[in-house]
Amino acid sequence: MNSLKTTVLLAAMTAIFTGAGYLIGGTGGMGIAFLVAAAMNVFSYWNADKLVLRMHNATEVDARTAPGLHGLVAELAGRAGMPMPRVYLIDDHQPNAFATGRDPEHAAVAATTGITAQLPREELAGVIAHELAHIRHRDTLTMTITATLAGAISMLANFAFFFGGSRDSRNNPLGTVGVLLAAITAPLAAMVVQMAVSRSREYAADRGGAEICGNPLWLASALQKIDNAARRTPMASAEGNPATAHLFIINPLSGARMDNLFSTHPATANRVEALRQMAGEGGFAAAPVSPKAPLDQGGSFSGPWSRSGARSGQSSNGTSAHRGPWG
């Protein structure tokens, strides 16, 4: 089913790109756009993950350079029965994360320095588990290629808006009207497709992440904190590459928080409520795990997931810590 959805969605993005080419340059423009879109699909299959990581200036880390984060990803990947993905850090104060890669054997998880500094280990475990669920569901290929094609559609529309297209009726039967239609409608159509790619898959990844980490409330709490922080803290690389926004666990762009037709993410409140309902259903027991290195930022930890002080049932902010399979 995922393979069918991937084919349909990528065909839709290719059709939008080709249609924009027709509106700008007529039959010749459509042919060129189709060839470019086909080439981008092939290129994106093998290289889109590297391109997206480069867009956000992500740096690969390992057990030596970031033992806490790397160990956390390794622990959760082992629990999920998945290959260990590559781990990247993005130097940005906004707490956020995303996953990319064409399949579980060629996947990567990227987290900002803000999220490792601001979230306690339990909540970060929920976030990483969510991204691993995306990888296990094979969402990452579709989402990453869609980001690449959406970016190309936006560039094509911007070109049409600022430089115009062929107004010769022999090349472009719609003339100036076609150029304006391409500039206005193509990015909107691409946005709707991105919404279709992302929104339903976020709920599925939330559920899968809760099952991997063992406690839905950790992810629910993390989503609320990330959403609140993202509203206050702009993310420069995301603002410069808005077509990649749907990759992140929470929309990193300013605005666009509503659960409406043009949002690539469900409303955070809806996701949190769904996770709380999961927690109420129970059945999330998990075996204890061995201690890991503390996170590289945000303080020291006494156990595999919990901050020092969690032994007494208190979180780092003095509130009652969620009890679960990790501590």
**Strand order from edge to edge, sheet including 59-61:** 59-61, 86-90, 107-112, 97-101
Instruction: Mark whether 131 is an active-site residue.
Output: yes
Q: Is 134 annotated as a binding residue?
A: yes
Question: Pairing mode, if any, of strands 59-61 and 97-101?
Answer: unpaired
CB 181 within 8 A of CB 160: no
Annotated catalytic residue: which of 75, 131, 211, 281? 131
Q: Is 202 annotated as a binding residue?
A: yes
**Paired residues of 221 in beta bridges:** none
Q: How far apart are CA 232 and CA 215, in angstroms?
A: 27
Instruction: Report the binding-site residues for Zn(2+).
Output: 130, 134, 202
Catalytic residues, by residue number, are 131
Instruction: Report the binding-site residues.
Output: 130, 134, 202
